[in-house]
């Protein structure tokens, strides 16, 4: 998906491959590093090969993907929901408390896009006013973690969390929802005592 967005950056095939690996596998690698495990993506040749192949196919079919922007947005929202659910459930299964499990889930969901932006020397998109990418992931992982804490089956909790992520992200895209911008304290309205 990134290939069509960054075609003006003039990446060669190696650059496309590296960015594809970082984007596709980065969240899972960060998740496993946070959990003190060998990254799952490094346990088999297939993870890297599939990430490279997907990046090259994305580059080759960038015109097709441009026309399918709506479908790509839905699939992207579904993917961040799934990655967040996988990250949070793995953290919970290793005995992490609820709040760190949410954090690991959010990092798993958005870590690939953060690494992509860093490698491309771009402003990290999720850190700026936008369409609630990380917030959607956080909403879904919170639902999952709370549901598991209340005794719901992990599979049901994961489906609920993924669905919440998908809904928040799609509503944010559709209606342009964003979080408030940071403002300097000197620009905030001052409270004055009534006389």
Give a yes or no: residue 185 inside a domain.
no
pLDDT value at position 129? 75
Q: Are 164 and 140 in contact (CB under 8 A)?
A: yes
Distance of CA 22 to the CA centre of its chain: 12
Question: What tens digit of pLDDT does each residue of 122-139 get?
Answer: 888 887 777 788 999 999
Q: Are 145 and 88 in contact (CB under 8 A)?
A: yes
- pTM for this predicted structure: 0.87
Question: What tens digit of pLDDT does each residue of 104-126 get?
Answer: 999 999 999 999 999 999 888 88
Output phi, psi for 38, to 5 deg: -65, 130
Q: What is the mean pLDDT of residues 26-47?
A: 97
Three-class SS string for the chain?
A: CHHHHCHHHCCCHHHHHHHHHHHHHHHHHHHHHHCCCCCHHHCCHHHHHHHHHHHHHHHHCHHHHHHCHHHHHHHHHHHHHHHHHHHHHHHHHCCCCHHHHHHHHHHHHHHHHHHHHHHCCCCCHHHCCCCCHHHHHHHHHHHHHHHHHCCCCHHHHHHHHHHHHHHHHHHHHHHCCCCCCCCCHHHCCCCCCCC
- Output the average pLDDT for the chain: 90
pLDDT value at position 144? 98
- Whether residue 190 is predicted with pLDDT greater than 90 in this model: the reply is no
Domain count for the chain: 1
Q: Which residue segment(s) compose the domain that 167 sits in?
A: 2-177
Distance CA 25, CA 20 (A): 8
pLDDT value at position 10? 80
Q: What is the mean pLDDT of residues 143-151?
A: 98
Distance CA 154, CA 143 (A): 11
Give a yes or no: residue 184 inside a domain.
no
pLDDT value at position 24? 95
Question: What tens digit of pLDDT does each residue of 43-85 get?
Answer: 999 999 999 999 999 889 988 988 999 999 999 999 999 999 9
pLDDT grade, residue 8 (50/70/90)? Answer: low
pLDDT value at position 184? 58
Give a yes or no: residue 189 inside a domain.
no
Give a yes or no: residue 20 inside a domain.
yes
Give a yes or no: residue 186 inside a domain.
no
């Amino acid at each position: 998906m990134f290939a069509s967005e960054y075609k003006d950056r003039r990446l060669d095939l190696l650059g496309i491959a590296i960015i594809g690996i970082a984007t596709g596998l980065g969240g899972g690698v960060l998740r496993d590093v946070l959990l003190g495990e060998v990254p799952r993506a490094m346990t088999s040749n297939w993870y890297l090969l599939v990430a490279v192949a997907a990046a090259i196919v994305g580059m080759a079919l960038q015109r097709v993907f441009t026309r399918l922007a709506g479908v790509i947005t839905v699939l992207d929202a579904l993917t961040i929901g799934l990655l967040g659910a996988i990250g949070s459930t793995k953290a919970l299964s290793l005995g992490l408390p609820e709040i760190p499990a949410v954090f690991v889930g959010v990092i798993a969901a958005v870590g690939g896009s953060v690494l992509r932006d860093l490698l491309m020397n771009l402003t990290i998109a999720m850190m700026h006013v936008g369409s609630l990418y990380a917030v959607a992931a956080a909403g879904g992982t919170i639902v999952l973690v709370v549901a598991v804490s209340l005794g719901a089956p992990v599979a049901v909790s994961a489906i609920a969390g993924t669905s919440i992520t998908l809904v928040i992200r799609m509503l944010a895209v559709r209606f342009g929802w964003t979080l408030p911008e940071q403002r300097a304290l000197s620009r905030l309205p001052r409270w004055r005592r009534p006389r």
